[in-house]
Structure 1
Amino acid sequence: MAFEKITEQPSQYRHLEKMSIASLLTNINKEDQVVPQAVAKAIPQIEKLVEVVSDKMLMGGRLFYIGAGTSGRLAVVDASECPPTYGVPYGLVVAVIAGGEKAITTAVEFAEDDREQGWKDLDVHGINEKDVVIGIAASGATPYVIGALDECRKRGIVTGSISCNPDTPISAAADFPIEVVVGPEFVTGSTRMKSGTAQKLVLNMISTSAMIQLGRVEDNKMVNMQLTNDKLVDRGTRMLMERIQLEDYEEAKALLLKYGSVKKAAESFA
């Protein structure tokens, strides 16, 4: 018996083309409000996955995301923001998207249907049993992702998944499945909407919690962030001033730029 693709069910709203702009926006917003409630229900599942991700990373492993389409693009966003935000090396959190880099901005036809390619794309990174792989698919049925998780399981690599339907094939393929069921989309089947929002929230929770467990946050501050623009230098300078009780902005800025992070600058001042 096939599982139920709630993400593909008809929208609860009809004749969208006849709605006023105000009605469109109000109804989209109304639907969006169910997303955090659905995520909250999945917290016990998310907690289990974060625990294993943190443990593996503390032992020297890496975190891999793998997805197609919107799911893959969301994975790329989350992975790419970890190094500048938390000062971790590039390659510690890796996103793999069906169709490769081209698929970040352009749809690659049928890339998500290749069941064998997902593992091939992971294998390029020398993935092994120290790592964790999280498959992301709103439908929960993407062959590219499921094939990759199946191969990971054969090789003793811990896996997780994020989907937006109940009892999905991707959940069956994962050691630590997460299902955030947000209901039919405002535009029927447009899973870049509520499903995409749910996936983004869960990815935020996973990577942020893991980075905190790795010691990349102190108090509530990003003390290891990379100083890649003036805004971040200013933020870092003010964080450093507060942390070491230094009132001179320019002195704190010079100290920050010398050592490259709030954490290292503060340690040098002690």
Structure 2
Amino acid sequence: MTNSITESDSFHNNLETKSVSELLQLIHEEDKKVLPAIEKEIPKIKEFVKELVMRMKQGGRLFYIGAGTSGRLGVVDASEIPPTFGVGHGVVIGLIAGGDGAIRKAVEHAEDDEDQGWKDILNYNPNNLDTVVGIAASGRTPYVIGGVKKARENGLLTGCITSNINTKLAEAAEYPIEPIVGPEFVTGSTRMKSGTAQKLVLNMITTTTMIQLGRVRGNKMVDMQLTNQKLIERGTRMILNELQINSEQAKSLLLLHGSVREAIDSYKKTKS
């Protein structure tokens, strides 16, 4: 078995003897290592996102594939894109080994099937405008490696996020992103620093992409879905601040047009 940073012994021992205060401080000290690790990877993330945006502007989709924590983080990021940016649910797709049931409860050996990742992607009729990002802290998850390999062989753009170096996953992907955060506080518990790094990189990829696709105006998510009262109030504030009208008018415009963008654009057209 090759050396693995994510499986290396924690720098901290005898954890059960430490106080709550000590444990919290030590976890915090380890978490501080995440941001510098990501900063080193920004040039790689930039090159990947530029390629991704080109394809998505032509109608391409973004797939995340992962297992366990990595898969769940991909599913979470994908599920937040439609309400935040107003795109369809089929634009960013999160796939997890073992299917949606594995989001809540681990499915035994699901990640060990090297063919299943690509099979799951095939359910969506992929094409060469699509992109696949494999997420695996270890960089050796068969489900993820197999999916990325087959995606690349079939002409899809491929990237990955892993917290180990010289991995099979990085070798399989065109654009490997490798934030090396070091051993976990609890040995091997990659839901901690590695998971935090994955979450931050996923945020960077999708947010930058959606901005490049025109889904943000200024610094506002003008295409967000109005799925609850909080978001209706947020949209109302955006409109009244932009148009300098009262709150009642702003809310009426928002509910009439269904989005901040449409409300503002329609109002300006009537005044021009």
Choose the corresponding residue for 2:256, options 255, 258, 261.
258
Q: What SS does structure 2 have at the residue aligned with 1:134?
A: strand
Residue 166 (structure 1) aligns with: 165
Residue 176 (structure 1) aligns with: 175
Q: Is the 8 A contact 1:112 1:144 kept in 2?
A: yes
Q: Distance in 1 between matches of 2:229 and 2:143?
A: 40
| 1:265 partner amino acid | A
Matches within 5 A, 1:39-54: 39-54=38-53
- Give the C-alpha shift of residue 156 in structure 1: 1.0
- Give the C-alpha shift of residue 186 in structure 1: 0.2
Q: What SS does structure 1 have at the residue aligned with 2:177?
A: strand
Q: Is the 8 A contact 1:3 1:168 kept in 2?
A: no
Query: What TM-score do the two structures reach when normalised by structure 1?
Result: 0.98
Q: Distance in 2 between matches of 1:4 and 1:224?
A: 46
- Give the C-alpha shift of residue 245 in structure 1: 1.6
Residue 37 (structure 1) aligns with: 36
Residue 142 (structure 1) aligns with: 141
Q: Distance in 1 between matches of 2:2 and 2:260?
A: 50
Q: Distance in 1 between matches of 2:107 and 2:5?
A: 25
Q: Is the 8 A contact 1:4 1:166 kept in 2?
A: no
Question: Is 2:67 the partner of 1:68?
Answer: yes
1:87-127 Cα shifts (integer Å, max 9, x gaps): 01111000010000110000000000000111100100111
Q: Is the 8 A contact 1:96 1:121 kept in 2?
A: yes
Q: Distance in 2 between matches of 1:206 and 1:53?
A: 9
Indicate the percent of aligned positions where both proteins have the same amino acid: 57
Number of residue pairs matched by the alignment: 268
Unpaired runs of at least 5, structure 2: none
Q: What SS does structure 2 have at the residue aligned with 1:161?
A: strand
1:24-78 Cα shifts (integer Å, max 9, x gaps): 0000000001101100011011111111111110011000000000000000000
Q: What SS does structure 2 have at the residue aligned with 1:14?
A: coil
Q: Is the 8 A contact 1:66 1:96 kept in 2?
A: yes
Query: What TM-score do the two structures reach when normalised by structure 2?
Result: 0.97
- Give the C-alpha shift of residue 3 in structure 1: 4.7
Q: Which runs of 4+ in 1 moved over 2 A?
A: none
Q: Distance in 2 between matches of 1:29 and 1:19?
A: 15
Unpaired runs of at least 5, structure 1: none
Matches within 5 A, 1:18-167: 18-167=17-166
Report the aligned-residue RMSD. 0.7
Q: What SS does structure 1 have at the residue aligned with 2:105?
A: coil
Q: Is the 8 A contact 1:162 1:177 kept in 2?
A: yes
Residue 269 (structure 1) aligns with: 267
- Give the C-alpha shift of residue 4 in structure 1: 3.1
